[in-house]
Amino acid sequence: MKDVAKLAGVSTSTVSRVISKTMFVDDKTKARVEEAIKKVNYRPNLVARGLRSKSGNLIGLLVPEVIHTTFAFFIKYIEESVARYGFNLILCNTHNDPETEELFIDSLLRRNVDGIIFSRVSDKSRVLRILENTNVPIVVIDRALGSENVHIPAVLLDNYKAGCMAAEYLVSCGHTEIACITGPLDILLSRDRLEGFRATLEKHSINLKNELVCEGDFKFDSGKKAIDCLMAAKKRFSAVWAQSDLMAIGVMREFSRLGFSLPDDVSVIGMDNTNLVEMVTPTLTTIAQPFQDMCDTAVDLIMRKISDGEDILYKRVVLDPVLMVRESVKKV
Amino acid sequence: MKDVAKLAGVSTSTVSRVISKTMFVDDKTKARVEEAIKKVNYRPNLVARGLRSKSGNLIGLLVPEVIHTTFAFFIKYIEESVARYGFNLILCNTHNDPETEELFIDSLLRRNVDGIIFSRVSDKSRVLRILENTNVPIVVIDRALGSENVHIPAVLLDNYKAGCMAAEYLVSCGHTEIACITGPLDILLSRDRLEGFRATLEKHSINLKNELVCEGDFKFDSGKKAIDCLMAAKKRFSAVWAQSDLMAIGVMREFSRLGFSLPDDVSVIGMDNTNLVEMVTPTLTTIAQPFQDMCDTAVDLIMRKISDGEDILYKRVVLDPVLMVRESVKKV
DNA sequence: TTGTAGGCGTTATCAG
DNA sequence: CTGATAACGCCTACAA
């Protein structure tokens, strides 16, 4: 910067002003400065800027896992979205471990990040308290903070409605004996989905028997295990909703292994609409999450807070799921 | 920091020394300082540290894509690896676009990152030249810089050997009429794999006909398309190697759709060993990439350069693929 | 419109 | 072993 200033015959403050475009600079000097900038190929140092102005155009993203889950979508779309704003993304894989979570949060705050996006927070309140006591904009994405009486803006899916849609579709296809494989039931969204599912079935005078509800963990293996469980208990059902595509595919895979033919012998509907749905046979009917919308919304909230100081504290955006019909559900 | 110093009755330099553990401090004063640190809950600001010492414990990672590809593994393992060193990761999705790539590199350098890991570089030389002219440690992972006469350390898979292993296994299962779906042939590793594959078949007196070689793009759809192509041309073959799991699964999916039974009618072997391999029916035999090894090696190289100043400039680590036998290849 | 000077929170250099 | 003091590179009052 000094070099530029010298070359252009101005002071560093003028150079700074030309770069930040925050004050009026005489066109002629501006031109000279810009030329000098090009000549020495000057690039403002973002660390120094971050130190001085407490804003280094950085966003932190915390996810509990990276591979082959819905979080990959959050990572992708959030990175793309912040990049559009000229920001960089610091990615933190918390492994769902509260301690790791806390460490990362600490790091991010010490880096003066401009915002933090959380996809899934563990329910440990110490992290939440840290977050409440900072003025760095925070947005939670994908997972509501349930009982905790904490006010952090969130971008969420209408999970209750997702359950309704899954049920409605299965019923419309003529199914009456229906099973459900949920996510971990200590997670609010799993319960919301189940409630919507159950309520809608009841609306159609179908009782979702408890013995046909299995708790999974959203992963592939738990879909397989759930089917093993149900089959071992000789339960009867013609359709099953798995609350994640991975589990749904686990279900399909296990039925195949057991010699069932899909969707003739049993119908499966998933949730998420990951890329996997087109890769299996039959292709998977599923409830889509609007990942990109969710991510864009989350980033927008942060950016608005940053630039306008807009009060997003009590904002809570709820987006709608979408039914994606493919081949894995049979009309009976 | 000032507060801590005041509370402990020392100067800020002493506080700094206690934190960085770089010089000897009297045990008693050290204890006082540490107590004061706890008392005011002091956390060193990483931006200021980054500015002063030009090292903010940050690593930049550039990938061409995030979702459902092998890059997800790189992201996961590299994040985990740098986290073990107490570093954070800045994730940049370049979309394979040279301009975006350049922008990100620029950003990273201006942030004084301690190192940059590239998984796939586009062949545009301007980026490479930037990288050569900086003293920030760089490691390329996964994709060699071919013809370019550029010296950047790299962590690579022995792709030639991968081709050999795929061929060897198919031959050992009795196949003699074999097809291959490659990655983009302007990428060196695709060619390496094909050459190893072809050479090994020839060693067994099998000629890999050009009409049985299809160029894909590593993605799911191109696997499907390749099969359409081969079938339309009424080619005969009993086994096919796809140079990525995604394409292999595209192949399987397309065969299923066309009414073939797998692996009885045709055998498929993939490459990568992604999580998908267990999700399809039949499960996919594949050539595994040691993703975690590759990532750990890449990060280790960078860290050694950072801490010991070790000269990694001409280092080139080549790791071996591993055959993973599952159900998708039939012995004939 | 432009220059000067001070400081953002650390660390490094140099005395003591 | 410890304390001043000066930077790191930039931004921003304040003054001119």
Cβ of A49 less than 7 A from strand C: no
Q: How many residues make up chain A in this entry?
A: 332
Domains and CATH numbers, chain B: 2-52 (1.10.260.40), 56-157+291-320 (3.40.50.2300), 159-289 (3.40.50.2300)
Number of other residues whose CB lies within 10 A of the CB of residue B9: 11
Residues 6+ apart with CB under 8 A from A281: A262, B252, B253, B256, B257, B281
**In the predicted structure, residue B271 carries a pLDDT above the cut 70:** yes
Distance D10 C1' – B87 CA (angstroms): 25
Query: Is B79–A91 a contact, with Cβ atoms under 8 angstroms apart?
Result: yes
Query: How far, in Å, CA of B142 to CA of B318, rounded?
Result: 10
Q: What is the pLDDT of residue A186?
A: 87
Q: What is the pLDDT of residue A150?
A: 64
- Per DSSP, helices labelled H in chain B are 2-8, 12-20, 27-39, 46-53, 71-84, 98-110, 125-132, 159-172, 188-203, 220-232, 245-257, 291-308
Structure tokens at A90: 């610091």
Residues 6+ apart with CB under 8 A from B257: A281
How do residues B57-87 score in pLDDT, each as one tens digit? 999 999 999 986 789 999 999 999 999 999 9
Q: What is the pLDDT of residue A196?
A: 98
- Nearest CA to B93 out of A69, A89, A298, A62 is that of A89
Stated as kind and residue range, the H or E segment containing B317 is strand B316-319
- Nearest CA to B113 out of B104, B122, B121 is that of B104
Residue with structure tokens 């009841």? Answer: A202
Using 50, 70 and 90 to split pLDDT, how confident is the model at B151? confident
**In the predicted structure, residue B124 carries a pLDDT above the cut 70:** no
Query: Is A90–B88 a contact, with Cβ atoms under 8 angstroms apart?
Result: yes
Q: Which of A47-51, B97-101, B298-302 has the lowest mean pLDDT?
A: B97-101
Using CA of residue B309, residue B310, residue B315, residue B318, what is the dihedral sign?
negative
Q: What is the pLDDT of residue A37?
A: 94
Q: What is the pLDDT of residue A19?
A: 92
Q: What is the pLDDT of residue A121?
A: 66
Chain C: nucleotides below 7 Å from protein CB are 1-5, 7-13
Q: Are B56 and A111 in contact (CB under 8 A)?
A: yes
Give the residue-averaged pLDDT of B184-192. Answer: 91
Query: How far, in Å, CA of B6 to CA of B15, rounded?
Result: 10
- Nearest CA to A53 out of A124, A114, A99 is that of A114
Residue to mutate among B49, B63, B80, B88, with most A CBs inside 10 A, is B88
Q: What is the pLDDT of residue A309?
A: 74
Distance C6 C1' – B36 CA (angstroms): 28
What are the backbone angles phi and psi of residue B197, rounded to the nearest 5°?
-60, -50
Residue to mutate among B37, B55, B66, B101, with most A CBs inside 10 A, is B66
Structure tokens at B299: 């990060």
Number of other residues whose CB lies within 10 A of the CB of residue B126: 12
Q: What is the pLDDT along chain A (332 residues), one digit of tens a residue?
A: 888 988 899 999 999 999 988 888 888 899 999 999 999 999 999 999 999 999 999 999 999 998 867 899 999 999 999 999 999 999 999 998 888 999 999 999 999 999 999 987 666 657 777 777 788 999 999 887 665 556 788 999 999 999 999 999 999 999 999 999 999 998 889 999 999 999 999 999 999 999 999 999 999 999 999 999 999 999 899 999 999 999 999 999 999 999 999 999 999 999 999 999 999 989 999 999 999 999 999 999 999 998 877 776 668 899 999 999 999 999 98
Q: What is the pLDDT of residue B237?
A: 95
Cβ of B45 less than 7 A from strand C: yes
Distance D1 C1' – A102 CA (angstroms): 35
